[in-house]
Amino acid sequence: MKVESVRGMRDILPEETPLWQKLEAEIRAAFALYGYGEIRVPLVERVELFSRGVGEETEVVDKQMYVFPDRKGLQLSLRPEATASVVRAYVEHGLHAKGDLAKLYYLGAMFRYEKPQLGRQRQFHQYGVEAIGSLDPALDAEAMDLAWHLMERLLVRDPSSEVRDSGLFSQPTLPGQRTTDNGPRTTDHGLLLRLNSIGCREDRPVYRAALQGYFAAQVGDLCPECRRRLETNPLRILDCKEEGCRALSREAPRSVDHLCPECGQHFADVQAHLEALGLAHEFDPTLVRGLDYYTRTVFELCSRDLGAQDALLGGGRYDGLVELLGGPPTPAVGFAGGMERLAIVLSAQQGAEASGPALDLYLVPIGDEARREGTKLLSGLRRRGISVDTDYMGRSLRKAMQVAGRSARYAAILGQDELARGEIKLKNLSSGEEKPVLLPQFAADPHTFLRTVDHTETL
Ligand code: HAM
């Protein structure tokens, strides 16, 4: 019986994994440059972590979580995101008691029961950072700078000159101004940083009332779900995907017009820091993000290469979450992005980038005695750091050389004649240069001998 994979949960095959490994390495390197250390949190958590932390009314919790009881009836959930888990770990391990800013990053699988499409999976992978313990607006700007820095490392051309100085970039729009309707302004990389402030817990009731007043007057044009949200959580109407609701949302009252003086100042300071950094961004009053824990700054970095699912990453402040999950009042800011979406953008921008052969060497033994000698040689070469493989499919010399040509930089041919003379023939598979060398000497110092058939490259 053929058993298929679960819809929306895909295998990442060997031809894709080099790209993923490159992404992971670049992400780790960038996070380390900004002072973040890795945290690994479980894939499974108690369901209430997300219903309380992320919010009962959010799509993620209401419709997309994988929830199941364990054998003792405890309700568990596969994690749909990691911010709540990181904050749980922060509180559980008393990281706040250390009194410093905790800068934590993670990489790993998340699970959401969504309709699969390009860039949207049910098992997907996020990279993310959480900086817990400071309200400094410079930290919000630093998080956005890190997001940009990451893209600069990953995207094809070095964008440092373009990203910071290009006339393609928009000047930031100040709160209180409507953005122009010239359409979204993107960078040469097709990237756009969208920014908004949704205020603090004290601002929320005022804004909520303003939204309720506005939407109640047009309740007939709302989808059934949003009519319900009007009572429970009108902010969620702003990220409804239904066209009717979206049209209404575009003219809805803006959160930035309902900020208390502290939140207004904080937002102005964040933008001043972004300007000091030269980071192009667009103020987007409709950006509210889909998770309930956000306060003040929210942002998304979007790419035109992604189509409908255009958010490469998203994040913001969540100054109330640590307290909500049982810790002391502690401000925090972070973001997370989808690895699958990065992989799509990179493949679109780089095309099929030819990668070099995976192996240093391919051994072609001819005859039984050579095979036995070859077994020993392979093991010794690997212990000397040479990546090497051989034929286990009974191929002819010609076929084995074809495989060698596809998979390695050099071939080593061990036939009866070579064996009788105590030699092995080395061949450079790109130049065709070949040379017999003494077998024991080659086995003892393969790097040096491979260089003798290589006058252009070194191992
Ligand atoms: P989020 O916006 O729900 O935020 O997800 C962040 C990113 O994960 C998205 O921008 C997208 O790139 C990727 N993503 C989300 N869902 C999927 C999916 N089904 N398939 C593929 N990629 C997906 C959060 O998760 C917050 N925890 C971010 C955060 C961290 N805020 C503060 N700290």
Q: Are 221 and 248 in contact (CB under 8 A)?
A: yes
| pLDDT attached to residue 398 | 96
What mean pLDDT comes out for the span 101-117? 97
The residue that leads in pLDDT, 29 or 236, is: 29
Closest C-alpha among 165, 198, 430, 365 to residue 296: 198
Asked if 311 and 248 sit in the same domain, the reply is no
Rounded CA gap, 95 and 373, in Å? 57
Q: Ligand 1, residues 124, 236, 339: which to mutate, most atoms within 8 A of Cβ?
A: 124
Q: Is the pLDDT of residue 365 over 80?
A: yes
| pLDDT attached to residue 188 | 55
Of 219, 254, 289, the one marking the end of a domain is: 254
Q: Ligand 1, residues 50, 110, 293: which to mutate, most atoms within 8 A of Cβ?
A: 110
Q: Is the pLDDT of residue 349 over 90?
A: no
Rounded CA gap, 232 and 458, in Å? 66
Nearest protein Cα to ligand 1, atom 11:
338
Distance of CA 431 to the CA centre of its chain: 39
Q: At what angle do helices 224-232 and 204-216 cross, to 10 degrees?
A: 140
What mean pLDDT comes out for the span 320-349? 94
Residue 6 lies in a domain: no
Query: How is the beta sheet containing 44-46 ordered, strand by strand?
Result: 44-46, 75-78, 67-69
Of 351, 376, 410, the one marking the end of a domain is: 351
From the CA of 119, give the closest atom in ligand 1. 21
- Whichever domain contains 132, its CATH number is 3.30.930.10
Asked if 265 and 122 sit in the same domain, the reply is yes
Nearest protein Cα to ligand 1, atom 25:
81
Residue 43 lies in a domain: yes
Q: Is the pLDDT of residue 261 over 50?
A: yes
| pLDDT attached to residue 254 | 96
Residue 27 lies in a domain: yes
| pLDDT attached to residue 190 | 80
- Whichever domain contains 436, its CATH number is 3.40.50.800
- 3-class state of residue 23 by DSSP: helix
Residue type, 78: L
**pLDDT interval class at 171 (50, 70, 90):** very low
Average of per-residue pLDDT values in the chain: 90
**pLDDT interval class at 163 (50, 70, 90):** very low
pLDDT digits 0-9 by tens, 13-38:
998 999 999 999 999 999 999 999 99
Residue 270 lies in a domain: yes
Of 351, 378, 400, the one marking the end of a domain is: 351
Residue 271 lies in a domain: yes
Asked if 70 and 152 sit in the same domain, the reply is yes
| pLDDT attached to residue 351 | 62
Nearest protein Cα to ligand 1, atom 15:
338
pLDDT digits 0-9 by tens, 275-315:
999 998 999 998 999 999 999 999 999 987 787 778 999 99
Helix or strand run (H / E) with residue 411: strand 408-414
| pLDDT attached to residue 98 | 82
The structure tokens listed for 23 are 């992404």
The structure tokens listed for 98 are 């250390």
Asked if 45 and 150 sit in the same domain, the reply is yes
Asked if 315 and 173 sit in the same domain, the reply is yes
Q: How far is the CA of 76 from the centre of ligand 1 (A)?
A: 20
**372-411 exposure pattern, b = at least 16 Cβ within 10 A, e = fewer:** ebbeebbeebeeeebebbbbeeeeeeeebbebbeebbbbb
Asked if 107 and 234 sit in the same domain, the reply is no
pTM of the complete model: 0.88
Rounded CA gap, 421 and 167, in Å? 69
Backbone angles phi, psi at 310, to 5 degrees: -90, -5
Asked if 234 and 378 sit in the same domain, the reply is no
**56-67 exposure pattern, b = at least 16 Cβ within 10 A, e = fewer:** eebbbbeeebbe
> What single-letter DSSP state applies at residue 54?
I
Q: How far is the CA of 207 from the centre of ligand 1 (A)?
A: 25
Q: In this structure, are strands 332-338 and 311-317 parallel, antiparallel, or unpaired?
A: antiparallel
| pLDDT attached to residue 182 | 37
What mean pLDDT comes out for the span 254-269? 97
The structure tokens listed for 41 are 């949190």
Asked if 197 and 208 sit in the same domain, the reply is no
- Within 6 Å (CB) of ligand 1, which residues are found? 81, 83, 112, 114, 119-121, 124, 126, 128, 130, 290-291, 311-316, 318, 334-338, 340-341
Q: Are 137 and 270 in contact (CB under 8 A)?
A: yes
Closest C-alpha among 48, 41, 38 to residue 324: 48
Q: How many domains does the chain have?
A: 3
Rounded CA gap, 46 and 50, in Å? 8
Residue 3 lies in a domain: no
The residue that leads in pLDDT, 171 or 260, is: 260
Query: How is the beta sheet containing 388-390 ordered, strand by strand?
Result: 388-390, 359-365, 408-414, 423-428, 434-438
Residue type, 429: L
**pLDDT interval class at 183 (50, 70, 90):** very low
Rounded CA gap, 45 and 158, in Å? 40
Residue 58 lies in a domain: yes
Q: Is the pLDDT of residue 321 over 50?
A: yes
Helix or strand run (H / E) with residue 334: strand 332-338
Residue 7 lies in a domain: no
Asked if 54 and 134 sit in the same domain, the reply is yes
Asked if 161 and 34 sit in the same domain, the reply is yes
Asked if 297 and 223 sit in the same domain, the reply is no
**pLDDT interval class at 45 (50, 70, 90):** very high
Asked if 308 and 384 sit in the same domain, the reply is no
| pLDDT attached to residue 456 | 58
Distance of CA 376 to the CA centre of its chain: 42
Instruction: Give me the domain span that covers residue 191.
Output: 17-202+259-351
Rounded CA gap, 189 and 154, in Å? 11
From the CA of 83, give the closest atom in ligand 1. 27
